[in-house]
């Protein structure tokens, strides 16, 4: 599978990488080791020593973060990937003793990695996730491994018409007759669902959106996709009749990073504004845990089953029947394909 390489992908959540620790992740088929340097800045190296190919991630962070030491014969590499210590013989460092270093930026509570040409890595191209700014928001963040192609996950979030069938808890008559729109704006695709006069929403949703007893609610789900696989989801609700601006919105991130062709890292989060007080932390912790249930027990099994049924074939080669809900994901897939084609023929 050809991946878009000159792009930012989430490698980990901020909280997943502790000082002094080595975190190994396979990203776009490459083994990468993440760690924090002496300043606490996140760093990413190819997770394979150039001497005898041991994973650096089995070694240790040395010199207070200034280097990573290979577990096998003790070569040390700095954050640029240069070998800075050879404990053997006369200690001379062979010219070829270097590993690839990947640009990595910590932003929006995540570590964003650039797997393409380093000189093209422009942090301003990281999509905006303001609700993942920990100063103003309490963030619940999770990570799942999915045995399926990352594009299946994009499809899943861009077409939330599956909620009615896959997540019966969130279903209602209003969900069934939702109005759906999509928009494209450059490399960004939006999918928007609006549900009106919902009297059947579960009690916990009505409470979250502060709907008075006995009143119907209007709900919406706005999904934003930025190539290649960063998605934001705003789930909003307001008492029917009031303008949406007076409603409550719960935002979250759904970012996907291909591990290999058929396996995907799923980074998800949900945020509550610190402005509401200490309850924000509690809500973030409770809700990210509550989300894990349907993600693991409802979405993941279906996406993995779809992946098995597709058996590695390209979606279009299988000539899928398209429904109205597919409009946004078809647009996103085309856009992604165009970007990948441009990159591979450049």
* Positions in the binding site for its own copies (CB under 8 A): 31, 47-48, 50-55, 58-59, 69-75, 83, 86-90, 94, 96-97, 155, 159, 161-162, 164-166, 176, 301-302, 305-306, 309-310, 318-325
* Count of CB atoms situated within 10 Å of the CB of 166: 18
Rounded to the nearest 10 degrees, how much is the dihedral formed by the CA atoms of 99, 7, 288, 273?
Answer: 110
Comparison of 276 and 322: residue with beta carbon closer to its own copies:
322
Q: Which helix (H) or strand (E) holds 194?
A: strand 188-198
For the record, the structure tokens of 284 come out as 């973030």
Do the beta carbons of residue 44 and residue 115 sit within 8 Å? no
Comparison of 43 and 48: residue with beta carbon closer to its own copies:
48
Please name every residue paired with 85 in a beta bridge, in sequence order, or none if there are none.
76
Q: Using CA atoms, how far apart are residues 282 and 28, in angstroms rounded to an integer?
A: 35
Comparison of 105 and 175: residue with beta carbon closer to its own copies:
175
CB of 12 to its own copies, least distance (A): 20
CB of 41 to its own copies, least distance (A): 26
CB of 81 to its own copies, least distance (A): 13
Comparison of 193 and 219: residue with beta carbon closer to its own copies:
193
Comparison of 245 and 319: residue with beta carbon closer to its own copies:
319
CB of 303 to its own copies, least distance (A): 9
CB of 152 to its own copies, least distance (A): 8
Q: Is 281 helix (H, G, I), strand (E, B) or coil?
A: helix
**Which residues 6+ apart lie within 8 Å of 87 measured at CB?**
73, 74, 75
Q: What is the DSSP letter of 82?
A: B
């Amino acid at each position: 599978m050809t991946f878009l390489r000159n792009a930012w992908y989430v490698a980990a959540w901020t909280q997943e990488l502790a000082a002094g620790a080595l975190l190994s992740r396979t990203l776009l088929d490459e083994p990468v080791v993440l760690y924090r340097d002496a300043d606490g800045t996140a760093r990413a190296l190819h997770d394979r020593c150039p001497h005898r190919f041991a994973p650096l991630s089995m070694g240790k962070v040395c010199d207070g973060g200034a280097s990573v030491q290979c577990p096998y014969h003790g070569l040390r590499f700095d954050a640029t990937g240069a070998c800075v210590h050879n404990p053997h013989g006369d200690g001379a460092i062979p010219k070829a003793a270097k590993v690839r270093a990947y640009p990595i930026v910590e932003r929006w509570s995540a570590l964003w990695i650039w797997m393409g040409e380093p000189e093209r890595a422009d942090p301003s191209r990281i999509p905006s996730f303001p609700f993942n700014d920990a100063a103003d928001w309490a963030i619940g963040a999770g990570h799942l491994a999915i045995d399926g192609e990352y594009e299946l996950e994009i499809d899943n979030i861009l077409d939330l018409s599956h909620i009615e069938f896959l997540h019966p808890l969130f279903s209602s008559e209003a969900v069934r007759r939702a109005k759906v729109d999509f928009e494209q704006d450059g490399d960004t695709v939006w999918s928007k669902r609006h549900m009106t006069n919902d009297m059947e929403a579960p009690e916990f949703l009505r409470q979250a959106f502060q709907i008075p007893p006995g009143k119907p609610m209007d709900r919406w789900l706005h999904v934003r996709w930025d190539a290649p696989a960063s998605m934001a989801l705003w789930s909003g609700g307001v008492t029917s009749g009031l303008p949406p601006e007076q409603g409550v919105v719960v935002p979250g991130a759904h970012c996907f990073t291909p591990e290999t062709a058929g396996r995907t890292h799923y980074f998800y989060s949900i945020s509550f504004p610190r402005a509401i007080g200490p309850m924000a932390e509690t809500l973030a912790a409770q809700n990210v845990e509550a989300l894990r249930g349907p993600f693991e027990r409802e979405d993941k099994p279906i996406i993995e089953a779809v992946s098995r049924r597709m058996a590695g074939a390209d979606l279009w080669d299988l000539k899928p029947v398209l429904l109205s809900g597919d409009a946004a994901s078809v647009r996103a897939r085309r856009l992604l394909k165009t970007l990948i084609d441009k990159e591979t023929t450049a």
